[in-house]
Amino acid sequence: MEIRCIDKAYPVWEVTKLELPSLNTTELKGKENSSKLPINSKREPMYLDWSNSNHFHFKETWVKRKELVQEYLKSGRAYEECIELMPMWPNRFSKFEWGTGEGSVQIIHDRTGFHMGPHIDNREVVGVMIVNLQDNPEGSGTNFHVDRDTPEAWYSGPTRRNTGVFFLNNWNTWHSVQNNGHDRLICYDIMHLGEMFRNG
């Protein structure tokens, strides 16, 4: 797996060459989206069934990729490549332990027409990794903006299978999604605030 910092002033990285195993999507466990927000009418969250051998193998491989990102953050390399990290998290992720329990990995199916405007995540979210599970529609990758009111993206994430983005929630990581093509299938994993203080 390769991790590339997009811009030293923004805690946003492109991830490639994840080499995830093919996922049997027909066996995914759907979860009814109870939200009444219009944006969620075209978003279907799904979860792996750990009793399914294909899903379990996918999960085990995914956990190994998460460990590479965790090691990248803790090793100091991320801090060398992104100057914004030190004022964000001066503890250098020393106590961070990314959860691997059931439900930590989410599969998301975004239908044609799904749209989420520029936003930053709530403060319980430290970061997010989003990876394409198929060759998704061109232009459906995560877009990053300088602020909420600037529609043009300064960077758009890749859409090919086994590529994606990893970013830390920060004042300058405004991001959006617009899917105008066929259905989009991604793997979505959140770094939660509580995971920053698990060790010691």
77-93 tens-digit pLDDT? 999 999 999 999 999 99
Q: Which residue has better confidence, 33 or 150?
A: 150
According to the per-residue pLDDT averaged within each range, which of 47-51, 167-171, 195-199 is highest?
A: 167-171
Nearest to 146 by CA among 176, 117, 172, 119: 172
Contact status, residue 174 vs residue 144, Cβ threshold 8 Å = yes
Q: Rounded to an integer, what is the distance from CA 187 to the centroid of its chain?
A: 7
pLDDT band at 41 (very low <50, low <70, confident <90, very high): confident
pLDDT per residue as tens digits for the range 124-164: 999 999 999 999 999 999 999 999 999 999 999 999 999 99
Q: 46 by DSSP, 3-state: which?
A: strand
pLDDT band at 198 (very low <50, low <70, confident <90, very high): confident
pTM of the model: 0.93
Domains of the chain: 2-16+42-197 (2.60.120.620)
How large a percentage of the chain has pLDDT more than 70?
A: 94
